[in-house]
Amino acid sequence: GDQKPFTTGCTAVVEVKIFGRSLGKDDVLLDICVAQRLLRDIMARYDHQNLDLLDEFQLPRRNTTVEVMAKAIHGHFVDGLQQHHQESRRAGREGLEHLSRIEVLIKESDVAFAGFAEQLTIE
């Protein structure tokens, strides 16, 4: 989890859950350092920004809801995984094709969650 203030004035906790069809060779799904770096880089682009003004949210939309944020973070995280997979493969290391699903949850309070999840195909 990474605590970041959104400029809607609330601080939210972002959680990424990673699922796989099998474990990698070190009995892990994904190196935690890779996951943390990806999430840190993604959250840095939103830190102290007015989210409603960012280019990626300029589709015909009135406000950047937590659900919209969860879907955006999910997309960036999956993009980062694809890139890491390709770099690993090029370097002759194990890839991430065993990953099967990514969930992003944004927790606004103890009772309010919103999230986005999707089955995954890494290639």
Residue 117 in tokens: 């999840």
More confident residue, 98 or 26: 98
Q: What is the pLDDT of residue 62?
A: 64
pLDDT at 75: 92
**DSSP states along 88-116:** HHHTT---STTEEEEEEEEESSSS-EEEE
pLDDT reported for residue 51: 72
Query: How far apart are alpha carbons 32 and 70 in whole angstroms?
Result: 20
What are 86-110's pLDDT values in tens digits?
999 999 998 999 999 999 998 877 7
pTM above 0.85? no
pLDDT digits (tens, 9 = 90+) for 38-58: 999 988 887 767 777 777 777
Q: What pairing do the DSSP bridges indicate for beta strands 113-119 and 2-5?
A: unpaired
| CB within 8 Å of 16: residues ≥ 6 apart | 35, 39, 73, 77, 102, 103, 104, 105
Report the mean per-residue pLDDT for the chain.
84
- Give me the pLDDT at residue 50, please: 73
DSSP string, 45-88: HHTT--GGGSGGG-SS-S---HHHHHHHHHHHHHHHHHHHHHHH
